[in-house]
Amino acid sequence: MQKRQSSRNYYLDFTHRSSTTDAENVVIEHRGELAGQIAAEREGPTTIHAEQTRTVHLLLHMGPVTNQRAVDISWASEGGHHSKAFYF
């Protein structure tokens, strides 16, 4: 994951590094009540194809912002379900 920031807008780049399989049923969610909201082009799970990068726009709300910003991502690939927290 890579991060680009502009004021209270963050752009998070997620790259699926597998060269052979897609990441399916990918769900990206912000962590915490006031952490922000993800500006998604579409609702629900998506697919990130092998060696593809997906950019996610995260808008931070006004009010208290913690130093521990995070998103949770979950996906299915290679016959299993995976999840990971990314701090930025």
Q: CA–CA separation, 52 vs 61, rounded Å?
A: 29
Q: CA–CA separation, 40 vs 61, rounded Å?
A: 16
Q: Is the pLDDT of residue 65 over 70?
A: no
Identify the pLDDT of residue 57: 80
The first and second tokens of residue 28, run together, are 């990206």
Q: Is the pTM of this model over 0.75?
A: no
In sequence order, what E strands does 1-88 have?
A: 2-6, 9-15, 23-30, 37-39, 46-48, 53-59, 70-77, 80-87
Identify the pLDDT of residue 51: 94
Identify the pLDDT of residue 37: 61
Instruction: Delimit the domains of the chain by residue range.
Output: 2-87
Instruction: Give the position of tokens 């993800």.
Output: 38
CATH class of 2-87: mainly beta
Q: What is the pLDDT of residues 28-51, one digit of tens each?
A: 887 765 555 665 555 789 899 999
Identify the pLDDT of residue 64: 56
The number of beta carbons lying within 10 Å of the beta carbon of residue 54 is 17
Confidence of residue 56 (pLDDT cuts 50, 70, 90): confident
